[in-house]
A = this chain, B = another copy of it.
Amino acid sequence: MSTLENISCNRAFGGWHKRYRHTSSTTGTEMVFAIYLPPQASGSRKVPVLYWLSGLTCTDENFMQKAGAQRMAAELGIAIVAPDTSPRGEEVANDEGYDLGQGAGFYVNSTQAPWQSHYQMYDYITKELPELVEANFPVNDKRSIAGHSMGGHGALISALKNPGRYLSASAFSPIVNPTQVPWGQKAFAAYLGDDVEAWKAYDSCELIAAADANDRTPMLVSQGLSDEFLAEQLTPQRLKQAARDNGYPLVLEQHEGYDHSYYFIASFIEQHLKFHANFLV
């Protein structure tokens, strides 16, 4: 297991926000992640973990700086782990677009050159990172997962593909049907190739429609109705319909006037953390 190098440490709401660098065997690169440890976490008391997956162009820092999540995490006694959104570095394939390559890993395991040598973000966030976190910090094996936009997609597919691994999942403004929208089609064509059938393994609408009746993870999705990407890229009604058709426990909440920014996330992160606490704490 890789060694953790501490990059920074800030006290926040009685707990600690810390950033770490490590060499990932999954991506074959150095990866950076942040963890917020609430004041309840100690050598003698392990706390549950919410994994947060960020959206296009983000790093581990955006959520920790802008969402205001630490306040409620400290109150509820939940740790938060925020990974980066892709492998990075000079040796890592990239693209000029903000929506492909570094900062845009889409939480899939790439099968196509030049991406597949490092873009293995699905395995990184669902396997290597939780193992690393659970081995190195005072956390237990109760996990939930959440995210925003591309990270909302990542959170939903991670829960849907791993029944029982996450006790709950939530998303702000997620890309729920990437096989059918421009962001997803561009990224999946690059990372996964031309076989559209292979894309469906990372599409929340497809996964929720196929979910077994015994494999259910409680899900909350929040969507702003003034989100500039709502109609073309996000299409939350498709997920709601697929969930309803398969009797899947998903709640979609829509909020008048809110956009795609962190001001929306900050406004409702308390609700999401309390939702996860129902299952984690």
A134 touches B (CB below 8 Å): no
Q: A257, B68: Cβ atoms under 8 Å?
A: no
Q: In whole angstroms, how far apart are the Cα atoms of A70 and B17 in the complex?
A: 21
How far apart are the CA atoms of A66 and B257 in the complex, in Å?
21
Say whether A65 faces chain B, with CB atoms less than 8 Å apart.
yes
Enumerate chain B residues within 8 angstroms of A12, measured Cβ to Cβ. Answer: 263-264, 266-267
Question: Interface size of A by Cβ–Cβ distance < 8 Å?
Answer: 24
CB-defined contacts of A71 to chain B, threshold 8 Å = 68, 266-267, 270
User: Does A83 lie at the interface of the complex (its beta carbon under 8 Å from any beta carbon of B)?
Assistant: no
Residues from chain B with a CB closer than 8 A to the CB of A70 are: 263, 266-267
| Residue A275 is within 8 A (CB to CB) of chain B in the complex | no
Given A71-B266, A266-B71, the answer on whether A259 and B10 have CB atoms closer than 8 Å is yes
Q: Nearest CB to that of A259 among chain B residues?
A: B10
Copies, count: 2
By a CB distance below 8 angstroms, the chain B residues around A266 are 12-13, 68, 70-71
Residues of chain B within 8 A (CB-CB) of A11 are 224, 226, 255, 257-259, 263-264, 267
What chain B residues lie within 8 Å of A20 (beta carbons)? Answer: none
Centre residue among A11, A14, A264 by max chain B CB count within 10 A: A11
Per-residue B-contact encoding for A63-103, CB less than 8 Å = 1, 0 else: 00110101100000000000000000000000000000000
Bound-complex Cα distance A54 to B262 (A): 20
Query: Helix, strand, loop or mixed for chain A's interface?
Result: mixed
Question: Does A261 sit at the interface, judged by CB under 8 A?
Answer: yes
**A13 and B267 contacting across the interface, CB-CB below 8 Å:** yes
Docked complex Cα distance between A226 and B17 (Å): 14
A66 to B11, CA, bound (A): 15
Q: How far is the CA of A17 from the CA of B265 in the complex (A)?
A: 14
Q: What 0/1 pattern do residues 212 to 249 of A give for CB contact below 8 A with B?
A: 00000000000010100000000000000000000000
Complex-state Cα separation, A17 to B224, whole angstroms: 15
Q: Which 10 interchain pairs have the tightest Cβ spacing?
A: A68-B68, A12-B263, A10-B263, A11-B257, A11-B258, A13-B267, A65-B66, A10-B261, A12-B267, A17-B263
Extra inter-chain contacts (18) besides given A13-B267, A70-B263, A71-B266, CB under 8 Å: A10-B259, A10-B261, A10-B263, A11-B224, A11-B226, A11-B255, A11-B257, A12-B263, A12-B264, A12-B266, A12-B267, A65-B65, A65-B66, A65-B262, A68-B71, A68-B266, A70-B266, A71-B267
Pull 5 A–B residue pairs with CB atoms less than 8 Å apart, ordered by A: A12-B263, A12-B264, A12-B266, A65-B66, A70-B267
Residues of chain A having any CB pair with chain B under 8 Å: 10-14, 17, 65-66, 68, 70-71, 224, 226, 255, 257-259, 261-264, 266-267, 270
